[in-house]
Structure 1
Amino acid sequence: MINGELKDLSLAVLSSPCSNFRWAFLYKNQTSEVFFDSQVRFFEMIGGLYKEVVYDNMKNVVTRFIGKNEKDLNPNLLAFANYYGFNINVTNCFSGNEKGHVEGSVKIIRKSVFAPKYEFDSFEQAEEYLEKELLKMNESSLIEEEKKNLLKLKPKYDLAKITTQKVDSYSFVQAEKNKYSVPDYLVGKTVVIRNYAREIKIYVNDNFVCSHKKKDGSNEVSIDIKHYLTSLERKPGAIRNSLALKNTPFLKTIFDKYFIKEPKKFVEIIKNNKEKDTDELIDAFNEYIKFGEDTIPKDVVKEVNNIELKTRILISSYDDLLVGGVK
């Protein structure tokens, strides 16, 4: 249960029988990106590489079966294993004894971690809880001894799907079925999109521009109000009804209470503090407000900011998407 709604989530489980070490990552889908992302994260966490990795006969491992025992391995997995330098071992079909530890680990983690607690305010909270419980579960493992015998970790394998795209007139690019904002000075220019399992990164001429948490739905948008400061400076009054503001709950709360009659000052404060984190930005607003005890409480703002907005749009309709129709 995430924020009161029943969700189907996936658990990527990796285990080491030698040290009796079990680990898992939570995901919102079961794509090939997730399959590889979980392994990269595991290697980075362990700080080393195994000489051999054993896989089940899943589609990300076996492209097709030839006869009873012959298999064609997935070329993406072969490239992945070649980069990290480990051998691939695929279990035989219908041989549960060859994968007992990892299958048992799935059941153990589900029962020990998510049977006692299955309600969370957000996906991120569920992730934090899983990590905390796994640390407890592995206190008696011999993983620290095993780490001494692992191969040296190589630089992180880049799993991004790379595409190029022209930024539309509303300063959006599309990755898969969703839209992501970029700074409005890039309208009409071509950018490089690096699409990861959990994140979207955007570059111009090999220079990093911005990133977004990846959306898992369809026809969703991810907007950073800081990407529209140039446009909002020209027409600050448009911010009141802009989707850019509505998509940032804690800023909308501040605007509605303190800046409804001073939109220009609101934009100015954000622009002058655009590199700061949430707490520092709140301090900047409080410094301007100076109403004695009537200041913005950080804990309340954070709570508002954690609310997951379900803002969906039709791809063909952009009315008032940016700042009241301003392009």
Structure 2
Amino acid sequence: NVQDSRRRIWLDAQNCMFHTFEELNVWLGQRCRTLWAELVHPQYNGLTVAEVLELEQAEMMPMPTAFDGYVERTVRVSSTCLISVARNRYSVPCERVGQWVSSRLYPSRIVVIADEAVIASHERLFDRDQVGFDWQHYIPLIERKPGALRNGAPFADLPKPLQLL
């Protein structure tokens, strides 16, 4: 039954190491398909769950487009080119200082929208009071303040060839 299958899958999962939710989801998908090929369907004797699924798929409706699930907030860009989202700060292009932008909080990323266009995207930070920088957002600032390139926090992840400048 379903409870036994679910329990068996999670017992197998305890022996595996997953670094991301995507890895876990891929493994779960593969494990479920393997299990469907092994289990006999309760209503169709002699057929596995996978075989019945294959027969029924011709009659099924196509999948709808994926739901774009996010939490949206309007935030103001600070003088340091940062926005605050979920107790963390993320950089946006410095041309947007003082402007209102829309932040979209996804499970694994943050997307920043202005004028109906994506202006920034960051991996989501899960601890509090962290800062996610993209050094490319600060390039126009370097023209006015070249010393920021050596000492500025946004440039800590600058590629090695550019750090030599």
Q: What band does the TM-score fall into relative to the shorter chain?
A: 0.7 to 0.9
Alignment of 1:274-285 (within 5 A): none
Q: Within 2, Cα distance between the matches of 1:152 and 1:130?
A: 21
Among 51, 58, 67, the alignment partner of 1:157 is: 67
Alpha-carbon distance between aligned partners in 1 of 2:134 and 2:119, rounded to the nearest angstrom:
12
SS where residue 174 of structure 1 aligns? strand
- 1:73-132 per-residue CA deviation (whole Å, 9 max, x = no partner) reads xxxxxxxxxxxxxxxxxxxxxxxx763322332222333xx1xxx4x8xx35x8548736
- CA RMSD in angstroms comes to 2.9
Number of residue-to-residue matches in the alignment: 150
Greater relative contact order, per chain length (Cα 8 Å cut-off, separation 6+): 1
Give % identity: 23
Q: Could you say if the C-alpha distance between residues 99 and 139 of structure 1 is closer, same or farther in structure 2, counting changes exceeding 3 Å?
A: closer
Identify which of 147, 155, 159 aligns with 1:237.
147
Which of 169, 172, 175 is the matching residue for 2:79?
Answer: 169
Unaligned 5+ runs, structure 2: 38-49
> Is 1:254 the equivalent of 2:161?
yes
What does 1:150-299 correspond to in 2, within 5 Å?
Answer: 150-246=60-156, 248=157, 251=159, 253-256=160-163, 259=164, 263=165
Contact 2:77 2:101 in 1 (8 A): yes
Normalising by structure 1, what TM-score?
Answer: 0.40
CA distance in 1, matches of 2:74, 2:32: 44
Unpaired segments ≥5 residues, structure 1: 1-96, 264-327
| TM value normalised by structure 2 | 0.75
Structure 2 distance, partners of 1:200, 1:150, is 35
Secondary structure of the 2:79 match is coil
Give distance in 1, aligned partners of 2:2 and 2:31: 27
8 Å CA contact 2:9–2:31 kept in 1: the answer is: no
Give the C-alpha shift of residue 254 in structure 1. Answer: 3.0
In structure 2, give the amino acid aligned to 1:131: V
